[in-house]
């Protein structure tokens, strides 16, 4: 039986979770996020490969590599959400289903955060549910991948 896999991508500054602006992002760490996503995936028979980088090219390379062995991508692009056309293009280019997740509600924050360049590349959007939103994004994406929900 082939292992079903998701790529979990966390963008710049998400390595600071737990200490960076806890009033906005909470006190859970990146390790907590990765564990939450992995547990949600495991409950459905999937595994998660995680990548976090403060360098856009590293994220692009991981997304490109996902074509070879992943069934979908869960991504919190961090600040790249609002600036990166190339990240959007990479997500569209690999042709995998994508879930976009944000810990805070970007629509309730500064105006420049209201636009997401990756929104149209994603079929699942989970915004403003804290780190537990990662479990929801994983579950909903797996539902689409396995044909239990429309994408």
**Both structure tokens of 2:** 């082939």
Q: Which one, of 65, 81, 68, lies nearest residue 113 by Cα? A: 81
Say how far apart CA 103 and CA 7 lie, in whole Å. 18
Q: Which residues carry a binding-site annotation for substrate?
A: 76, 82, 89, 103-104, 113
Q: What separation in angstroms does the CA of 144 have from each of 42, 55, 78, 133, 138? A: 16, 29, 24, 17, 10
Q: What is the pLDDT of residue 2?
A: 81
What is the per-residue pLDDT across 93-119, written as a single tens digit (0 to 9) for each?
999 999 999 998 776 666 766 789 999
Tell me if residue 25 is catalytic.
yes
Q: Once rounded to an integer, what is the mean pLDDT over residues 31-59?
A: 98
**Both structure tokens of 132:** 């537990």
Q: Rounded to two decimals, what is the model's pTM?
A: 0.93
What is the per-residue pLDDT across 6-22, written as a single tens digit (0 to 9) for each?
999 999 999 999 998 77
Active-site position among 55, 102, 115, 117: 102
Q: What is the pLDDT of residue 104?
A: 80
**Both structure tokens of 127:** 């915004």
Say how far apart CA 41 and CA 39 lie, in whole Å. 5
Domains of the chain as residue ranges with CATH: 4-145 (3.40.50.9100)
End-to-end CA distance of the chain: 25
Check pLDDT > 90 for residue 55: yes
Q: Which residues carry a binding-site annotation?
A: 76, 82, 89, 103-104, 113
User: Which residue is it, tokens 């760490």?
Assistant: 29
Q: What is the pLDDT of residue 1?
A: 62
Count the neighbouring beta carbons within 10 Å of the beta carbon of residue 46: 23
Tell me if residue 102 is catalytic.
yes
Q: What is the pLDDT of residue 112?
A: 63
Name the more confident of 132 and 150: 132
């Amino acid at each position: 039986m082939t292992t079903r896999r998701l790529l979990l991508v966390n963008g710049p500054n998400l390595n600071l979770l737990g200490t960076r602006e806890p009033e906005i992002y909470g006190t859970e760490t990146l390790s907590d996020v990765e564990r939450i996503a992995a547990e949600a995936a495991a409950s459905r028979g999937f595994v998660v490969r995680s990548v976090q980088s403060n360098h856009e090219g590293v994220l692009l390379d991981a997304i490109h590599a996902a074509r070879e062995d992943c069934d979908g991508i869960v991504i919190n692009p961090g600040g790249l959400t609002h600036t990166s056309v190339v990240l959007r293009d990479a997500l569209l280019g690999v042709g995998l289903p994508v879930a976009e997740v944000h810990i805070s509600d970007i629509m309730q924050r500064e105006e420049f955060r209201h636009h997401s360049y990756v929104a149209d590349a994603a079929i699942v959007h989970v915004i403003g549910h804290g780190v537990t939103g990662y479990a929801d994004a994983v579950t909903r994406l797996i539902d689409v991948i396995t044909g239990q929900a429309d994408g």
